[in-house]
C-alpha cells in the first residue's frame, strides 16, 4: 500500500467529536448514502457488547479511534460483525489486534455494497489518512521504489526511491525492495554490466592510450566473468552498450529470452546431477521471473482499454465499477431509464483517451494491484466485464 500522500499536503484530522462518517469516496455511487454506526466506550467489554448488538453481517470498513480522537487503524471486512468480534477474542487474536483494541475508545464502521467496495474504501482511507497501526512498523523494503537503468558513461540496473528523470528507463513502482535489488543484481551479472559506485573511474578499450596500462579491476566480478570490466578497459563502449540494450529490452518486455535460457540451463544441470549449479540457476530464474511478472502487470495496466465491471451487492443493487488502465476510477449504480444519460456522461469523462503514463504513481499501482488481485482470485468474474461500447449501449433509452 502507499505509505506517503502524493499531494504533499498535510492531512487534516479526519475525526472530531461530531464524527459523522469517513468522508467522501470515489468508490461509491454519488447518490448512495452510506450506513454508518459509532460505538463509544472506555472498556473493551462495552465496545464488544455494542458490536454484538449493532454490527451487521455485511461488508464494510471500520475505524478505531483513540482517546485523543485520532484514527489509529482502518480495516475492511466481508462480514463486519465477525471481523470486529475477533478483536475481543484474547486467546486467538494477534498481538497487534490486542494493541489496537486496547487504545480504542470509539469504534466506527461504514457499510459498503459489496466486498470489492470495502477493499477499495480501505485502501482509499489508508492512503488519505495513514493511520498509525496501518503503517507503524512497516519495513523499509515495503516502501515504494523503482528499478532504473542509467547513469553514464556506463549505464547499469539499479534501485532507487526517487528517479531523476534522466534515466534510460524507469520501471515500477514496486514494494519489497530486497527482491528488486536481487533482480537488478542478477540482470547486471547476466548482461555483464557494472554495479560499482559512480566514483570509480572508467575507461573503455578504445581509450586505452589515455591511461596507464595494466589497470586493475576494482572488484572480483571481472575475474568471475560477470562484468565486462569498463573500469579496466576490458570492453569497448560498443560492447558494453550491447549489454545495456539487452537489459533494457528485458525490462521493456521486448526480449524475455533470458528466462528461457536460465530455465534450459537449470534443467540441463539437474539432468546431469549438478544440483548445486541447478539451485544457483533456479535462484537467478526466480528473481528475474518475479520482476518480469510485475513488469508485465504494470504494462498491462498502463495499456489496457476501458471496461465496466457490474457487481450485484448484498443490497441486491447492481453497481458498475468503471475501470481504466487497471484502476477503478468511478462507481455508479447500473443505468435505469432515467439515469442512463448521466451514467453515459460519467463514462465519457472517466474513459477519456489520454496517452498512458510512462510510470504509474505509487497510489495508482496500489489500486492496480488490488483490482488484479480481485480478478486473479475470481477468474470467473471476468466473464461479466462489459466493453465500453456495450456499456454505452445499455445506457441508451429503451
How far apart CA 8 and CA 215 sit, in angstroms, is 48
Rg (the chain; Cα; Å): 26
CA angle 251/296/240 to nearest 5° reads 10
Task: Check residue 88 and give its pLDDT.
Answer: 94
Task: For the chain, list the domains and their CATH numbers.
Answer: 36-138 (3.40.1440.10), 142-301 (no CATH), 304-395 (no CATH)
Question: Stretch 292-312: mean pLDDT, rounded?
Answer: 85
pLDDT digit string, tens, across residues 167-200: 999 998 888 889 999 999 999 999 999 988 888 8
Percent of all residues in the chain with a pLDDT value above 70, rounded to a whole number: 89
Contact 27, 121 (CB under 8 A): yes
Task: Check residue 46 and give its pLDDT.
Answer: 94
Percent of all residues in the chain with a pLDDT value above 90, rounded to a whole number: 57
pLDDT confidence band for 203 (50 / 70 / 90): confident
Mean pLDDT rounded to a whole number for the chain: 86
Cα separations (Å) of 318 from 3, 114, 312, 339? Answer: 32, 10, 4, 13
pLDDT confidence band for 383 (50 / 70 / 90): very high
**Which grid cell sits at 9?**
499536503
Question: Which string of DSSP letters, residue by residue, matches 149-202?
Answer: EE-TTS-EEEEESS--S-SSEEEEEES-HHHHHHHHHHHHHHTT---S-TTS--
Is the confidence at residue 207, as pLDDT, over 60? Answer: yes
**Which grid cell sits at 66?**
483513540
**Other CB atoms closer than 10 Å to residue 44's CB: what's the count?**
16
Task: Check residue 136 and give its pLDDT.
Answer: 58
How far apart CA 191 and CA 227 sit, in angstroms, is 8
pLDDT confidence band for 328 (50 / 70 / 90): very high
Question: Stretch 3-11: mean pLDDT, rounded?
Answer: 38
CA angle 201/207/212 to nearest 5° reads 65
pLDDT digit string, tens, across residues 79-114: 999 999 999 998 888 888 999 999 999 999 999 999
Is the confidence at residue 348, as pLDDT, over 50? Answer: yes
The answer to whether the predicted template modeling score (pTM) of the entire model surpasses 0.85 is no
Show the DSSP H helices in the chain as ranges: 44-54, 80-86, 95-103, 115-129, 132-135, 177-190, 221-224, 237-252, 257-271, 275-303, 340-350, 362-377, 388-395
Amino acid at each position: 500500500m502507499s505509505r506517503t500522500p502524493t499531494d504533499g499536503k498535510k492531512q487534516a484530522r479526519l475525526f472530531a467529536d461530531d464524527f459523522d462518517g469517513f468522508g467522501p469516496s470515489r468508490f461509491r455511487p454519488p447518490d448512495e448514502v452510506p450506513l454508518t454506526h459509532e460505538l463509544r466506550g472506555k472498556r473493551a467489554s462495552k465496545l464488544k457488547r455494542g458490536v454484538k448488538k449493532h454490527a451487521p453481517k455485511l461488508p464494510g470498513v471500520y475505524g478505531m479511534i483513540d482517546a485523543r480522537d485520532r484514527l489509529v487503524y482502518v480495516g475492511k471486512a466481508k462480514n463486519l460483525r465477525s471481523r470486529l468480534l475477533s478483536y475481543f477474542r484474547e486467546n486467538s487474536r494477534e498481538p497487534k489486534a490486542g494493541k489496537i483494541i486496547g487504545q480504542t475508545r470509539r469504534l466506527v464502521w461504514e457499510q459498503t455494497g459489496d466486498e470489492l467496495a470495502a477493499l477499495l474504501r480501505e485502501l482509499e482511507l489508508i492512503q488519505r489518512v495513514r493511520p498509525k497501526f496501518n503503517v507503524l512498523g512497516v519495513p523499509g523494503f515495503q516502501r515504494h521504489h523503482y528499478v532504473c537503468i542509467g547513469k553514464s558513461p556506463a549505464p547499469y540496473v539499479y534501485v532507487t526511491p526517487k528517479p531523476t528523470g534522466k534515466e534510460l528507463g524507469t520501471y515500477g513502482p514496486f514494494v519489497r525492495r530486497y527482491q528488486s535489488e536481487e533482480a537488478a543484481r542478477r540482470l547486471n551479472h547476466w548482461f555483464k554490466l557494472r554495479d560499482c559506485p559512480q566514483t570509480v573511474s572508467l575507461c573503455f578499450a578504445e581509450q586505452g592510450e589515455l591511461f596507464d596500462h595494466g589497470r586493475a579491476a576494482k572488484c572480483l566480478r571481472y575475474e568471475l566473468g560477470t562484468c565486462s570490466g569498463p573500469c579496466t578497459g576490458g570492453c569497448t563502449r560498443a560492447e558494453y552498450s550491447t549489454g545495456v540494450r539487452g537489459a533494457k529490452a528485458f525490462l521493456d518486455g521486448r526480449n524475455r529470452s533470458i528466462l528461457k535460457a536460465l530455465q534450459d540451463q537449470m534443467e540441463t544441470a539437474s539432468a546431469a546431477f549438478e544440483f548445486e549449479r541447478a539451485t544457483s540457476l533456479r535462484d537467478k530464474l526466480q528473481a528475474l521471473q518475479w520482476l518480469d511478472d510485475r513488469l508485465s502487470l504494470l504494462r498491462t495496466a498502463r495499456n489496457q482499454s476501458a471496461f465496466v465491471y457490474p457487481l450485484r451487492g448484498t443490497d441486491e443493487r447492481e453497481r458498475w465499477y468503471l475501470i481504466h488502465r487497471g484502476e477503478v476510477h468511478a462507481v455508479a449504480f447500473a443505468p435505469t431509464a432515467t439515469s442512463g444519460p448521466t451514467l453515459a456522461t460519467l463514462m465519457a469523462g472517466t474513459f477519456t483517451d489520454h496517452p498512458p503514463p510512462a510510470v504509474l504513481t505509487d497510489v495508482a499501482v496500489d489500486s492496480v494491484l488490488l483490482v488484479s488481485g480481485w480478478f486473479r482470485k475470481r477468474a470467473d468474474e471476468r466473464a461479466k466485464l462489459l466493453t465500453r461500447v456495450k456499456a454505452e449501449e445499455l445506457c441508451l433509452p429503451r
